[in-house]
């Protein structure tokens, strides 16, 4: 190496940084004790800013473009160096390139569940996770507050600190937002915007801006989910149909109970009591939307089937006959108190006078004429 080559290597005349990574936020231009030549060329590409630092003090900041370094575009550095009338000799200064482009696919999530309170569901826990996009918005603040003298600063070095900050602010904001519990799962866009606005000032203190913040999922206990789904159905269906469905389910369960009729009666009672309670609740201002638009008409219960009996006449089974036919037969002495009868549900034939259902028939028939 000749003497002239050695002298050329002592001076830097081109300053630039080609970023080939996806996570580098700050890169310090390597000069290895070399001095920057007067009139050196500085190239700052789109998505970058260059910051000159003199003995620990931040001096001049350059936006994207090509520059020839001189006193005019280094006013702060000129003051620090004492260049009152310009300079002609090389100088030493640290040059930091700061990436100002969006750094995507940054993940955050709650390591531990967050406890919230709701007027309807009481205390419950949720977990949340999502992604965010960040960029350096103020290189001067970012260098002073975060980077320091680190010559190669990546997102990995600040990721955990940012995650902790996000989770802390998410917890505070979620509690202060007073969102109904169902909103955490059904209004993720609104929740994301609210949280992004809440954490913005904290990131600004580090010279960082959150350009996109997403809450991708909010999980909660299964029992809370079931209650939310039930509540949403109540707001969408007809109250009368709901009462009928509840009563039918109660009767089905009662029918499975060995206690038989008593169980069925209890099931019906529970079903109608439940229907009445829900009816009272909705009458206090929480009517389903379908009822507000067109009130449903009350439906009468089905007509019970006519009561009929099989009878034994002259040793032969006859019928079945309804109550009116039996009255006519009794008036003609074809049907008496001693006549054997049977209806569905009876285990054996029985005399007519042993069944309370038939008392009215014989009460309406005049007794036999005396002496006949």
Q: Which is more confident, 231 or 350?
A: 350
Beta carbons within 8 Å of 26's beta carbon, 6+ residues apart: 96, 97, 98, 99, 142, 143, 147, 150, 152, 153
Range with the largest mean pLDDT of 10-24, 98-112, 237-251, 343-357: 98-112
Span 252-267, average pLDDT:
54
Beta bridge partners of 126: 114
CB atoms within 10 A of CB 137: 16
Whether residue 5 is predicted with pLDDT greater than 50 in this model: the reply is no
Residue closest to 205 by CA, chosen among 132, 144, 153, 150 = 144
Read off the pLDDT of residues 154-205 as tens digits, 9 standing for 90 and up. 888 888 888 888 888 888 877 776 667 777 767 788 888 888 888 889 889 9
CB atoms within 10 A of CB 296: 12
Whether residue 268 is predicted with pLDDT greater than 90 in this model: the reply is no
Span 350-369, average pLDDT:
73
| C-alpha gyration radius of the chain | 45
Tell me what pLDDT residue 10 has.
57
**Residue 263 Cα to chain centre, angstroms:** 41
Whether residue 125 is predicted with pLDDT greater than 50 in this model: the reply is yes
Tell me what pLDDT residue 139 has.
92
Cα 27 from Cα 62, distance rounded (Å):
15
C-alpha to C-alpha distances, 131 to 75, 165, 181, 272, 371, nearest whole angstrom: 41, 14, 22, 50, 106
Percent of the chain with pLDDT over 70: 72
Residue 76 pLDDT class (50, 70, 90 cuts): confident
C-alpha to C-alpha distances, 244 to 158, 264, 296, nearest whole angstrom: 60, 15, 13
Span 345-357, average pLDDT:
82
Tell me what pLDDT residue 199 has.
87
**Residue 222 Cα to chain centre, angstroms:** 12
- Strand segments (E) across 64-175: 65-68, 94-99, 103-109, 114-118, 122-136, 152-154
Q: Which is more confident, 107 or 252?
A: 107
Q: Which is more confident, 43 or 235?
A: 43
Residue 308 parent element (H or E): strand 308-313
Residue 246 parent element (H or E): helix 239-255
Span 252-262, average pLDDT:
58
Tell me what pLDDT residue 238 has.
54
How does the average pLDDT of the chain come out, rounded? 77
Q: Which is more confident, 237 or 229?
A: 229
* Contact in structure between 146 and 153 (CB atoms under 8 Å): yes
- Tell me how many degrees the CA angle 217-220-226 measures, rounded to the nearest 5: 115
Tell me what pLDDT residue 79 has.
85
Beta bridge partners of 15: 42
Tell me what pLDDT residue 260 has.
47
* Contact in structure between 26 and 50 (CB atoms under 8 Å): no
Tell me what pLDDT residue 370 has.
64
Tell me what pLDDT residue 289 has.
46
Tell me what pLDDT residue 4 has.
44
* Contact in structure between 13 and 42 (CB atoms under 8 Å): no
Read off the pLDDT of residues 12-70 as tens digits, 9 standing for 90 and up. 788 999 887 888 899 988 766 668 888 889 999 999 999 999 888 899 999 999 999 88
Residue 241 pLDDT class (50, 70, 90 cuts): low
Whether residue 282 is predicted with pLDDT greater than 50 in this model: the reply is no
CB atoms within 10 A of CB 320: 17
Percent of the chain with pLDDT over 90: 15
Tell me what pLDDT residue 119 has.
73
C-alpha to C-alpha distances, 110 to 152, 255, 313, nearest whole angstrom: 29, 48, 85
Beta carbons within 8 Å of 175's beta carbon, 6+ residues apart: 116, 117
Residue 239 pLDDT class (50, 70, 90 cuts): low
Whether residue 98 is predicted with pLDDT greater than 90 in this model: the reply is yes
Write out the two tokens for 12.
């830097």
Read off φ and ψ for residue 173, nearest 5 degrees: -65, -40
Pairing outcome for strands 11-15 and 35-44: parallel
Tell me what pLDDT residue 234 has.
61
Whether residue 296 is predicted with pLDDT greater than 60 in this model: the reply is no
Domains of the chain: 9-99 (no CATH), 103-225 (3.30.479.30), 309-361 (no CATH)
CA dihedral 313, 316, 318, 323 (to 10 degrees): 30
């Amino acid at each position: 190496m000749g003497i002239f080559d050695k002298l050329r290597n002592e001076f830097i005349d081109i300053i630039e940084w080609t970023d080939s990574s996806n996570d580098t936020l700050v890169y310090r231009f390597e000069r290895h004790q070399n001095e920057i030549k007067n009139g050196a060329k500085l190239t700052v590409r789109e998505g970058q800013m260059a910051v000159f630092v003199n003995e620990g003090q931040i001096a001049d900041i350059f936006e994207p473009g090509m520059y020839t370094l001189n006193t005019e575009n280094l006013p702060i550095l000129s003051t620090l160096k004492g260049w009152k009338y310009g300079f002609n000799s090389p100088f030493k200064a640290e040059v930091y390139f700061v990436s100002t482009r969006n750094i995507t696919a940054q993940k955050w999530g709650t390591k531990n569940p967050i406890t919230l309170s709701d007027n309807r569901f009481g205390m419950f826990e949720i977990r949340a996770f999502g992604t965010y996009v960040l960029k350096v918005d103020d290189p001067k603040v970012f260098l002073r507050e975060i980077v320091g003298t680190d010559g190669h600063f990546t997102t990995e070095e600040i990721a955990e600190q940012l995650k902790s900050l996000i989770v802390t602010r998410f917890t505070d904001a979620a509690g202060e937002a007073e969102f109904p519990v169902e909103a955490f799962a059904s209004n993720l866009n609104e929740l994301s915007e609210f949280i992004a606005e809440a954490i913005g000032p904290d990131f600004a203190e580090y010279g960082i801006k959150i350009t996109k913040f997403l809450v991708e999922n909010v999980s909660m206990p299964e029992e809370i989910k079931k209650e939310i789904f039930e509540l949403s159905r109540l707001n969408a269906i007809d109250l009368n149909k709901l009462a009928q469905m509840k009563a039918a389910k109660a009767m089905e369960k009662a029918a499975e109970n060995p206690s038989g009729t008593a169980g069925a009666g209890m099931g019906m009672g529970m079903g109608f009591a439940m229907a009445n309670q829900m009816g009272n609740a909705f009458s206090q201002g929480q009517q389903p939307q379908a009822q507000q638009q067109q009130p449903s008409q009350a439906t009468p219960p089905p007509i019970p089937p006519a009561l009929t009996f099989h009878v034994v006449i002259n040793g032969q089974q006859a019928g079945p006959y309804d109550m009116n036919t039996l009255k006519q037969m009794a008036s003609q002495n074809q049907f008496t108190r001693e006549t054997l009868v049977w209806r569905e549900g009876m285990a054996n034939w029985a005399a007519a006078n042993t069944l309370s259902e038939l008392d009215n028939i014989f009460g309406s028939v005049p007794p036999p004429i005396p002496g006949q």
